Chain A
Amino acid sequence: MSYTWKLKSFAGIFLAFLLLANISSAQMTPQSQLANRTLEVMVGFSNTGGGARFWNVFSKELRKKLPKTIIRARFNDTASGVSGTSDLFKLPKGTLAIGFVRPPEIAFAQINERAEVDFDFRDANWISGVEQDSFIMAARRELPTDPAELRKMEPQLILPVSDILATHATVGILLNAVTGIPAKIVVGFKKSDRKRALVAGDADMYTIAADAKLEPLLASGDIQSLYTIAGSSFSSVVDKTRTLETFLVPDAPKSVVSFVKSARGMGRAFFAPPSVAPKDVQALRSIFKDILEDEEFVALAASNGVPVAAVSSQDVSAQLNELLLSDEASKKQLEKAYQCGISMARGDIQNCNFGAE
């Protein structure tokens, strides 16, 4: 056998191999990419809230899409999902895992350099966001709408929240600082309790999504919209002339206002930790996109009380980067605003002096 023939045979085999490899990769679907593997899911919410409700509906659809993948979910709402996220970031390379969290809460924990945040949330691979809400500051019906009057209100206004680490609590504290309205933050109010407290007059104001559920209360006048915070899809019952900007104190730092808007506009989202291979991330993105854009699924989720609006991975990533405040000056402003908001909530001071710095 001549040397040339051998070379030709080798080249032929090599080409055939390449062709086969190409065919097989062309046939590799996201489903087959993830088949016969275990997908670990960390749901950073309690098993009774809206996050759990969304996951329960979504997971059924996901199981249909990935029939050959084992999906193993755990609820871990410790520190608003920060502990679970930390666990995910420690997984060894190649592990298939995702987290389902509310990113602003984790971003805020990272900015505050809380001890349990031993990861950089920027390294997360975003799969998809599932919500984009339009938020307002809702108020009880008799509350005056003039900011100057609100700043002098006695006794102190009450802003009900679920717990001090929740996004709406953080936003409420920051709003104290940037609007100069010193609301007392009172914990232990679940979502339905907050609405009830406002209608009953036990609380004065809180941030809420201006969705279809709120519309009858706004229309009947049981609750009023004090000002809009984030988003643009408000119905006619919301007074769009009163925006957060019209309530700000003159020296309110732009970075804090921007943080508040991003935090309130950003809903729950799925991410994959750095351990997940880029190919797997792509496969997950593709499957999640299919589900979240499926009209039947959107209708099913809405009927379960969890309205869905898909947000692309790029948009989530951009929103998160905005939240994480890369420059030190903005971080300091945010920290100052937070501490000042807390002091105002406690009734220790009446306003923040941002301009002095």
Chain B
Amino acid sequence: MPSLAELISLLTSGGLGLFTALCLGTLFGFVAGLAPGIGGRIGIILFLPIALFWDPLGGAVFLFAMHSVVHTSASIPAIAFALPSTGADAATVIDGYPLSKMGRAGEALGASLSASAIGGVVGALAFLAIIPVARLVLNHFGPPEFLLLALAGLSMVALLSGRNLVTGLLAASIGILIASIGIDVSTSADRFTFGRPELRSGVDIAAIIGGIFVVPEMLAKWSFDAKGRHRAVSTSMSDVLLGMRKTLQHLKLVSRSSLYGIGIGMMPGLGSSVAVWMSYAYASRTSKSKIPFGKGAIEGVIAPEAANNSKEGGAMVPTLFFGIPGSSSMAIMLGAFLIVGLPVGPNLLTSDIQVSYALAATVLLANLIAIPMFFAVVPGIVRLAALRREHIVPFAIALSLFAALYQDMHWVTLAQFMFASAIGIALKRLEWSRAALLLGFIMGPLAEISYIQTSQIWGWSMFERPASLIMLAVFLVFGIRAARSKTKKTSNALGVADGVLACPILIIFILACTYSISLPSGASSVPLLISIIGLVLSGMVSLAAFKMRKAKSPFIPPSFENLRSTLLYCALVPFLGLPLMSMLYVVKLMRKAGTGMSTAVGSALALGIVQTSFLALIMDIWAEPMITGWIYASLSGY
């Protein structure tokens, strides 16, 4: 294991490139955490184009630094305004907000900041400590084990996310089917390309991520109580330091919570919320606090914050070494790594071990840098948390579309973005797991490749491998337990709307099934298998939903605003160009939200300048006329 000095020198040697990426990543992570509705997952997508200013490692350092501290700053709106960015941050609200109301916001922020930092550092150290063990394990890993890991990861995520087991599995099947579009690597046959050469290299991952996550999230109506957002956060340095001292007084709780975070972070599919709530429950059981939990106990802030940041170290293990994302945000991170050009997998334990060390150093240092940055930057940017969400929406959508288009400025990419948005909106509306779809999309090819390799090299003799047998036993035990608990909890959770969505999906799977039969044998196995699975699952959902059509819907589906404006915006981009259309879109949405004309125009101009500058710096099209350049770029494929 390298020393701290060696880790720091990894990021500082060879110029300031990596160190700048680290500092900027930390700063943007703060911004993403503070801005309402952005958070870690969407922040990665929105700031992805910035990562391209560096080489692949620099880009990865930027993204990891951002992701490492996003929960640190997300605790600020959670504590000050009771505004959690994610389910994981919600635990901080329970005791953080009462503390804030008691005038102890500074103390709560100090405790949260220091617990997050310690949790993050412990997570990074755990990741470093796991490297030798992972290397040892990897020596016994071949394609059969990767196949089992991919299947287990997929089913665990489908089982544990969303409100229903079957819809989760169905979403994962849709993801795998989308991933099978393109040239088949074993036979070079075209699959589901409909004669479009642009689809031969597969569906654009940035378009899928942006469409599935950003657009539905941004267009959904905001449900929190917005009262009190503009209340000033009264914090003094002494209050913050007092909070930090309180954290140090609870080191046992911090370390225990960090361990929860690391352990759960390593298990694909469990996600950050489980780690956070488990550590909160542990703290409430063991605390001797005079103030009851839920009324402003400082331990109720410390425990979830430590777990929230430490789980990143744990989640890095399956994500980086095995290509199996530990959570939905890590799935997005995995996609982002593909876009910046950093290959992950066993190579990060062997030939590219320095990359692993650099990323561990990033998590470690980003959490440490976060403390002085908090004092230096947060007083200035904390107002971001009080921004109205309606003002963020147009920027987030315009930036996510930009992130999708910058690599392949073609109308086919735009169509993919719109298609993914439509799927994302439908899934969000019915609360089907979008993370399961993304994981299916990312892990489907890995599962397919591992399946081909396993069947060609080992066949059934894969079950003679001790590593495979051990893994299979572990996954079966966990899988059955998870499935039973999930079935108990959500057996009545389907409504008529689920059936309405499942019907067209059923038709798509029937068509895919028919098409797959016509493919050459080597290319057809996975699309055919997944089409049959999807067909059965969508049939089950349709039947179950229509049987229960009289039952009251167990959830309140979110409705969507500005859908028509967004569709129009996307449709006109190829004709008027991205920067110009983005500016018009921002003005329209901000005016609708009640912003003054001058502010709306000013914001639109700022966005236009940012987009055009990015294009100039990354793609060198500065000198081309904006509109004609983009029409040419969008329609000609160059």
Residues of A within 8 A of B (CB): 36, 38, 40, 47-49, 52-53, 56, 63, 70-72, 74-79, 83, 87, 116, 158, 162-165, 184, 186-190, 192-193, 195-197, 200, 202-203, 213, 304
A186 touches B452 (CB 8 A): yes
Closest to A166 in B: B185
A190 to B453 Cα, complex, angstroms: 12
A-contact bits for B396-427, CB 8 A (1 contact / 0 none): 00000000000110000000000000000000
Whether B350 is near chain A, meaning CB under 8 Å from some CB there, is: yes
- Cβ of B336 to closest chain A Cβ, rounded Å: 12
Interface majority SS (helix, strand, loop, mixed), chain B: loop
Segment of B339-347, B364-372, B475-483, B583-591 in the binding face: B339-347
Within 8 Å by CB of B637, from A47, A52, A87, A196, lies: A87
Return chain A residues, CB-CB under 8 Å to B339: 47
B407 touches A164 (CB 8 A): no
- Cβ of A306 to closest chain B Cβ, rounded Å: 12
A73 to B347 Cα, complex, angstroms: 28
B197 touches A188 (CB 8 A): no
- Cβ of B350 to closest chain A Cβ, rounded Å: 7
- Cβ of A344 to closest chain B Cβ, rounded Å: 14
A202 touches B143 (CB 8 A): yes
Segment of B165-173, B529-537, B615-623 in the binding face: B615-623
A36 to B187 Cα, complex, angstroms: 44
- Known contacts being A48-B343, A164-B187, A202-B143, is A186 close to B457, with CB within 8 Å? yes
Given A38-B624, A56-B55, A195-B351, 11 extra CB contacts under 8 A: A47-B338, A48-B341, A70-B624, A72-B638, A78-B201, A79-B183, A165-B183, A184-B457, A186-B453, A187-B452, A188-B452
A193 touches B345 (CB 8 A): yes
- Known contacts being A47-B407, A48-B338, A202-B142, is A83 close to B185, with CB within 8 Å? no
- Known contacts being A40-B638, A79-B200, A202-B142, is A158 close to B457, with CB within 8 Å? yes
A21 to B375 Cα, complex, angstroms: 65
Closest to B633 in A: A72
- Known contacts being A38-B624, A162-B185, is A190 close to B350, with CB within 8 Å? no
Closest to A41 in B: B638
Closest to B445 in A: A188
B619 touches A72 (CB 8 A): yes
Return chain B residues, CB-CB under 8 Å to A40: 638
Whether B456 is near chain A, meaning CB under 8 Å from some CB there, is: yes
A187 to B185 Cα, complex, angstroms: 7
Return chain A residues, CB-CB under 8 Å to B188: 79, 163-165
Within 8 Å by CB of B139, from A70, A165, A184, A200, lies: A200
A192 to B345 Cα, complex, angstroms: 9
24 of the cross-chain contacts (CB-CB < 8 Å) are A38-B624, A47-B339, A48-B56, A48-B343, A53-B56, A53-B341, A63-B620, A72-B620, A72-B621, A78-B201, A79-B188, A87-B637, A163-B188, A164-B188, A184-B456, A184-B457, A186-B456, A188-B449, A188-B452, A189-B453, A190-B343, A196-B350, A200-B139, A203-B457
- Cβ of A125 to closest chain B Cβ, rounded Å: 19
- Known contacts being A47-B341, A186-B452, is A193 close to B346, with CB within 8 Å? yes
**Which of B187, B450, B452, B620 has most A Cβ within 10 Å?**
B620
Q: Which of B604-622 contact A (CB under 8 A)?
A: 619-622
- Cβ of B414 to closest chain A Cβ, rounded Å: 15
Cross-chain pair count, CB within 8 angstroms: 109
A52 touches B185 (CB 8 A): no
Return chain B residues, CB-CB under 8 Å to A163: 183, 185-186, 188
Return chain A residues, CB-CB under 8 Å to B457: 158, 184, 186, 202-203
B620 touches A192 (CB 8 A): no
Return chain B residues, CB-CB under 8 Å to A188: 143, 185-186, 449-450, 452-453
Return chain B residues, CB-CB under 8 Å to A162: 185
A304 to B638 Cα, complex, angstroms: 28
Within 8 Å by CB of B341, from A52, A72, A76, A189, lies: A52
A78 to B196 Cα, complex, angstroms: 11
Closest to B637 in A: A87
A197 touches B142 (CB 8 A): yes
A133 to B408 Cα, complex, angstroms: 32
Return chain B residues, CB-CB under 8 Å to A47: 338-339, 341, 407
- Cβ of B187 to closest chain A Cβ, rounded Å: 7
Return chain A residues, CB-CB under 8 Å to B197: 78, 83, 116
List of 9 A-B pairs having minimum Cβ-Cβ separation, nearest first:
A188-B449, A163-B185, A192-B347, A78-B200, A78-B201, A187-B186, A70-B620, A47-B341, A202-B142
Closest to A116 in B: B197
- Cβ of A214 to closest chain B Cβ, rounded Å: 11
A83 to B197 Cα, complex, angstroms: 7
Closest to A188 in B: B449
A116 to B142 Cα, complex, angstroms: 35
Q: Which of B215-230 contact A (CB under 8 A)?
A: none
Closest to B458 in A: A202
A348 to B622 Cα, complex, angstroms: 58
Return chain A residues, CB-CB under 8 Å to B407: 47, 75
A70 to B623 Cα, complex, angstroms: 8
B185 touches A77 (CB 8 A): no
Return chain A residues, CB-CB under 8 Å to B143: 188, 202
- Known contacts being A165-B188, A186-B456, is A192 close to B350, with CB within 8 Å? yes
A83 touches B345 (CB 8 A): no
A72 to B343 Cα, complex, angstroms: 24
- Cβ of A67 to closest chain B Cβ, rounded Å: 11
